C-alpha cells in the first residue's frame, strides 16, 4: 500500500513537472514574435547547419505567393507569413496626399493593381501551404520603399491566436485554422519619404501593443487581445519611426519601451503613463530595443550614430544626461535598418545597411572588434539571429555569413542561395528558416 501511495505521489509530481516543462517549451521552443523568444534575436537552443547551398542541406523550398518582408513566426507545426499578392485587376489609386521632400530620388514603389493582403500558414515539416486567408483586398495605400513591401510588419502569437498587422491596411486576429475572429482599421499612416511601414505589434498578458509613428498624428495603442477594443491610446509627438516596442519585466513591475527620433520613452503598460524618457537617437529610428540584466539598449544609425545603455534601476522621469545612462557609443558603426543581437553579455550589430560587423561588451560598451568586413554581402535589410555560439547574417543578394560569437572576429562559413532576402531569418531547433522574395527555405542538418 505504501509503495502504491509513493508511486502515486511520484506520478503526480512527474505530471506537474511535465506541465511546467510544456509551458516553458511553449515560450522557448517557438518563435512567436519579431526577434524571437527574448526579443534579442537569439534562439535558446538548436544546432542548424553552418554550411549549405541550393543543393545541400535544403530540407525543403516552398514558393510563397506575393511579396512580404515580414519575418515569419512559428508555433508548433505552423509557420505564419504575411504577404501582399498582386491581382490582375487595376483600380484608380487614391491620392495619398504626400508631397514629401526626397520621395522621388528614393524610387518609391507604387501600384494601381488591387492586392490581396494574406495570412499564410506553412507546414513546418514539409513546406506545404496549409491555408491562406485573404484579410483585405484593395490597392495599397501610398508608396513603399524600393526595397520594401506592403506586408512588412511581422505577426505575433500567444499560441492560441495569430495577430496579423498590415499597418494602414488593418489589424486582424485569426485562429490557427485561418478564420478571422476580429479586425480593426486603425487608420492610415503617412511615412516619411514614402519609406513604407514596418513596426510590429507586441503581446503582453491580455494586451496587444501597436506603435504608429508617422508624419501625421503618431500614437501608441493598447488593445484587448480578445476583442480588439482599445484599452488606452496615447498621442505621441513623433515623426516616422519603424522600431517595434519592447516589453520589459524589471524590479517586480513591467515597462513598455519605445525608441524614436524625438524621445525614447518607457510606459506603464496598464495605464500608458510615461515612466521615464530621454533623447539621444538619430532620425529614422528602425532598430528595436533589446534588454538583459536590468539594462535596455537602444540604437540608430541614420545621419548619425547612437547607442544608449540605460539602467532601469535608475530610470525615472527625464533621464537625459543622468547616471541612468550607463554608457554611450557614437562611433560610425551603428545600424540603420538591422536590429542588434544581444547574447552572453555582448552586443553585435552591423553598420548602416552594410556588411561591417561590430561587437561590444554590453556591460560597459568596450569594443571587442569594430567594422569587420563581410566581403560577399551586398546590402543588408534583414536582422542577424544567433544560436549555439554562431551569428547568422543574411544579405539581400542571397549570401549568408555564419560568424562565431566570441570576442574575436571569426567567419565560419559563407553560403549562397538563389534568391533575394529582406525578411529576417528564424531559428527553431536544428532548422534555419529564411524567407526570400521567391521562396521560403528550410535549411536543416536533419
- Position 106 scores a pLDDT of 62
Domain parsing of the chain, residue ranges: 42-66+332-446, 71-192, 198-330
Helices then strands, each counted (H, E), the chain: 1, 33
Residue whose C-alpha is closest to residue 284's, from 187, 213, 355, 354: 213
Give pLDDT < 50 ranges for the chain: 1-24, 95-103, 105
The two domains 71-192 and 198-330 share their CATH topology (first three levels equal): yes
Q: What is the CATH number of domain 71-192?
A: 2.40.128
**Is there a contact between 172 and 228 (Cβ–Cβ < 8 Å)?**
no
User: How far is 79 from 76, CA to CA, in rounded Å?
Assistant: 8
The secondary structure element, H or E, covering residue 7 is helix 2-28
The angle subtended at Cα 306 by Cα 31 and Cα 275, nearest 5°, is 70
pLDDT of residue 10: 36
Q: Assess contact for 413 and 51: CB atoms under 8 A.
A: yes
Query: What pLDDT, on the 0 to 100 scale, is given for residue 127?
Result: 98
Check: pTM over 0.75? Answer yes or no: yes
User: Cα 294 vs. chain centroid, distance in angstroms?
Assistant: 21
- Give residue for cell 485561418: 178
Q: Is 48 helix (H, G, I), strand (E, B) or coil?
A: coil
Which CATH number describes the domain made up of 42-66+332-446? 2.40.128.630
Which pLDDT tens digit goes with each residue over 51-79? 999 999 999 999 999 999 999 999 999 99
Phi, psi of 129 (to 5 degrees): -70, 120
In the chain, what percentage of residues exceed pLDDT 70? 91
Report the top-level CATH class of 198-330: mainly beta
- Render pLDDT for 408-438 as a digit per residue (tens, 0 to 9): 999 999 999 999 999 999 999 999 999 999 9
Amino acid at each position: 500500500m505504501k509503495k502504491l501511495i509513493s508511486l502515486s505521489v511520484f506520478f503526480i509530481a512527474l505530471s506537474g513537472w511535465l506541465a511546467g516543462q510544456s509551458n516553458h517549451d511553449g515560450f522557448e521552443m517557438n518563435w512567436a514574435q519579431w526577434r524571437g523568444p527574448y526579443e534579442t534575436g537569439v534562439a535558446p537552443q538548436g544546432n542548424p547547419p553552418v554550411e549549405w547551398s541550393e543543393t545541400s542541406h535544403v530540407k525543403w523550398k516552398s514558393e510563397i505567393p506575393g511579396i512580404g518582408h515580414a519575418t515569419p513566426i512559428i508555433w508548433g507545426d505552423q509557420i505564419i507569413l504575411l504577404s501582399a499578392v498582386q491581382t490582375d485587376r487595376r483600380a484608380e489609386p487614391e491620392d495619398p496626399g504626400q508631397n514629401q521632400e526626397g520621395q522621388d530620388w528614393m524610387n518609391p514603389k507604387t501600384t494601381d493593381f488591387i492586392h490581396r493582403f494574406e495570412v499564410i500558414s506553412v507546414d513546418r515539416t514539409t513546406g506545404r501551404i496549409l491555408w491562406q486567408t485573404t484579410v483585405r483586398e484593395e490597392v495599397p495605400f501610398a508608396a513603399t520603399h524600393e526595397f520594401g513591401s506592403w506586408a512588412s510588419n511581422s505577426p505575433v502569437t500567444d499560441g492560441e491566436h495569430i495577430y496579423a498587422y498590415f499597418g494602414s491596411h488593418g489589424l486582424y486576429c485569426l485562429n490557427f485554422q485561418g478564420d478571422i475572429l476580429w479586425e480593426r482599421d486603425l487608420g492610415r499612416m503617412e511615412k516619411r519619404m514614402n519609406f513604407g511601414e514596418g513596426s510590429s505589434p507586441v503581446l503582453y498578458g491580455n494586451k496587444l501593443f501597436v506603435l504608429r509613428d508617422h508624419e501625421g498624428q503618431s500614437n501608441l495603442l493598447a488593445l484587448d487581445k480578445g476583442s480588439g477594443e482599445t484599452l488606452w491610446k496615447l498621442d505621441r509627438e513623433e515623426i516616422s519611426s519603424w522600431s517595434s516596442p519592447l516589453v520589459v519585466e524589471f524590479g517586480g513591475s513591467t515597462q513598455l519601451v519605445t525608441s524614436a527620433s524625438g524621445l525614447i520613452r518607457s510606459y506603464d503598460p496598464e495605464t500608458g503613463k510615461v515612466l521615464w524618457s530621454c533623447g539621444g537617437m538619430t532620425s529614422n529610428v528602425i532598430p528595436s530595443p533589446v534588454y538583459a540584466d536590468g539594462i535596455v539598449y537602444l540604437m540608430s544609425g541614420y545621419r548619425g550614430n547612437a547607442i544608449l545603455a540605460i539602467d532601469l534601476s535608475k530610470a525615472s522621469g527625464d533621464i537625459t544626461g543622468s547616471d541612468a545612462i550607463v554608457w554611450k557609443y557614437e562611433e560610425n558603426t551603428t545600424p540603420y535598418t538591422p536590429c542588434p543581437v544581444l547574447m552572453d553579455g555582448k552586443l553585435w550589430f552591423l553598420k548602416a545597411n552594410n556588411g561591417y560587423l561590430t561587437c561590444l561588451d554590453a556591460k560597459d560598451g568596450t569594443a571587442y572588434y569594430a567594422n569587420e568586413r563581410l566581403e560577399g554581402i551586398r546590402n543588408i535589410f534583414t536582422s542577424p539571429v544567433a544560436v549555439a555560439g554562431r551569428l547568422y547574417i543574411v544579405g539581400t543578394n542571397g549570401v549568408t555569413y555564419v560568424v562565431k560569437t566570441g570576442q574575436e572576429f571569426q567567419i565560419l562559413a559563407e553560403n549562397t542561395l538563389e534568391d533575394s532576402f529582406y525578411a529576417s531569418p528564424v531559428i527553431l531547433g536544428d532548422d534555419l528558416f529564411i524567407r526570400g522574395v521567391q521562396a521560403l527555405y528550410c535549411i536543416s542538418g536533419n
